[in-house]
Chains A and B, each alone.
Chain A
Amino acid sequence: MKATTLRRIGARVATLLASLLIALTMAFALGRLSGDPTATILGPMALPEQREALRHQLGLDQPLLVQYFDYLKGVFTGDLGDSLQFYQSNTTMILDRLPFTLQLVAAGMSLAILIGIPLGVLAATREGTWWDRGASTLALLGQSVPVFWLGMMLVVLFAVKLGWLPAGQSGSLKHLILPAVTMALYPMAHIARLTRASMSDALREPFIDSARARGISTTRVVWRHGFKNAMMPILTIIVLQTGVLMSGAVAIEYVYSWPGLGQLALQSIQFRDFPLVQAIVVFAAVIFVLLNLVVDLLHSVVDPRVR
Chain B
Amino acid sequence: MSELEIELAPHAGEPLKPAKDRRRRTSRTSVFWLGLPLGVITFLVFVLPLTGLLPDGGQDLTATRLPPAFLDGGTWAHPLGTNKLGQDGLTQLVESGRLTIMIGLVGALVAIGPGTLLGLLAGYCRGWVDKTISILIDAQLALPFILIALAIIANRGSSLPVLFLVLALTGWASCARVTRSATLSIRERQFVLGLRAAGASEARIVFRHVLPNLAGTVVALATLQVGTAILVESALSFLGLGVVPPHSSWGSMLAAGQDELSHSWWIAFFPGLAITVLVLLVNLIGDALLTHNDPRKRRR
A and B found bound together: yes
Stretch at the interface among A45-53, A106-114, A153-161, A219-227: A153-161
Main secondary structure of the interface of A (DSSP, over half): helix
Q: Does A302 contact B (CB under 8 A)?
A: no
Q: Are B138 and A156 in contact (CB under 8 A)?
A: no
Knowing A146-B231, A243-B144, A244-B144, the reply to whether A22 touches B136 (Cβ < 8 A) is yes
Q: Are A160 and B261 in contact (CB under 8 A)?
A: yes
Q: Does A143 contact B (CB under 8 A)?
A: yes
The interface residues of chain B lying within 8 Å CB-to-CB of A255 are 258
Stretch at the interface among A54-62, A115-123, A283-291: A283-291
- Which of B151, B268, B269 is close to A281, meaning CB atoms less than 8 Å apart? B151
In this complex, which of A19, A270, A272 has the most chain B Cβ atoms within 10 angstroms of its Cβ?
A19
Q: Does B276 contact A (CB under 8 A)?
A: yes
Q: Does A233 contact B (CB under 8 A)?
A: no
Q: Does A37 contact B (CB under 8 A)?
A: yes
Q: Does A265 contact B (CB under 8 A)?
A: yes
Q: Are A274 and B280 in contact (CB under 8 A)?
A: no
Q: Are A149 and B272 in contact (CB under 8 A)?
A: yes
Closest-CB distance, B147 to chain A (whole angstroms): 5
Q: Does A31 contact B (CB under 8 A)?
A: yes
Closest-CB distance, A222 to chain B (whole angstroms): 18
Q: Are A30 and B155 in contact (CB under 8 A)?
A: yes
Q: How many A-B residue pairs have CB under 8 A?
A: 154
Q: Are A248 and B144 in contact (CB under 8 A)?
A: yes
Knowing A15-B135, A23-B142, A146-B254, the reply to whether A153 touches B269 (Cβ < 8 A) is yes
Q: Are A292 and B280 in contact (CB under 8 A)?
A: no
Q: Are B238 and A251 in contact (CB under 8 A)?
A: yes
Q: How big is chain A's contact interface, by range?
A: 35 or more
Knowing A15-B135, A140-B284, the reply to whether A152 touches B268 (Cβ < 8 A) is yes
The interface residues of chain B lying within 8 Å CB-to-CB of A269 are 150, 153-154, 241
Q: Does B152 contact A (CB under 8 A)?
A: yes
**A272, B150: Cα distance in complex, Å:** 10
- Which of A156, A167, A277, A285 is close to B150, meaning CB atoms less than 8 Å apart? A277
Task: List B residues 89-145 near A (Cβ within 8 Å).
Answer: 135-136, 138-139, 142-145
The interface residues of chain B lying within 8 Å CB-to-CB of A37 are 155
Task: List A residues 137-184 near B (Cβ within 8 Å).
Answer: 140-141, 143-146, 148-150, 152-153, 155-156, 160, 167
Q: Does B243 contact A (CB under 8 A)?
A: no
Knowing A128-B300, A140-B283, A155-B261, the reply to whether A247 touches B151 (Cβ < 8 A) is no
- Which of B154, B269, B280 is close to A277, meaning CB atoms less than 8 Å apart? B154
A-B contact pairs, 15 of them (CB 8 A): A19-B135, A20-B142, A40-B157, A128-B300, A140-B287, A143-B283, A145-B276, A148-B238, A152-B272, A255-B258, A266-B150, A277-B151, A280-B147, A281-B144, A285-B142
